[in-house]
Amino acid sequence: MNPTKRVEAAREAAERAYAPYSKFKVGAAIELNNGDIITGCNVENVSYGLSNCAERTAIYRAIAEGIDLSNVKAITIYTPTEQLHSPCGACRQVMAEFFSADTQVSSANRHDITHWTVGSLLPESFSF
């Protein structure tokens, strides 16, 4: 595991966030078992409900690039804020779709990092 590499990649991705409405910039970095990193940032819209979170941007980018998400080691999100922030409900559901329940999910800022798993963030997730 290389949390520093993911934190740095997520921090750089947060700098690319398009968040003129909320001013809340988020970056995400998915690390694969082979060490490859796929990043995402939040992308907002003047029609606010169309905004996409950093986590889902990274996951959808990976899908679009044909990356096998059964090989995910961990996902880290980064916010340039004083508090740490956990992923929203929509992103938890999308993570549950593509990542196994034991995949590590981390949230970092410039001071701290905290860790969960997909299963702990969305217990008893919907499926059929």
Ligand X SMILES: O=c1ccn([C@H]2C[C@H](O)[C@@H](CO)O2)c(=O)[nH]1
**What residue ranges bind ligand X (CB under 6 A)?**
19, 22, 24, 26, 42, 44, 51, 53-55, 87-88, 91
Verify whether residue 31 is a known catalytic residue.
no
Under the binding rule (CB under 5 A), the answer on residue 96 touching Zn ion is no
C-beta of 4 vs 22, nearer to ligand X: 22
User: Pairing state of beta strands 113-117 and 72-78?
Assistant: unpaired
Q: CA 3, CA 7: separation in Å to the nearest integer?
A: 6
Q: Up-side HSE of residue 57: CA atoms within 13 Å toward CB?
A: 23
Amino acid identity, position 59: I
Binds 44: which of Zn ion, ligand X, none (CB < 5-8 Å by kind) = ligand X
Catalytic residue among 12, 15, 31, 55: 55
Q: Determine if residue 109 is labeled as part of a ligand binding site.
A: no
Structure tokens at 93: 């559901």
Question: Which residues here bind Zn ion, judged by CB under 5 A?
Answer: 53, 88, 90-91
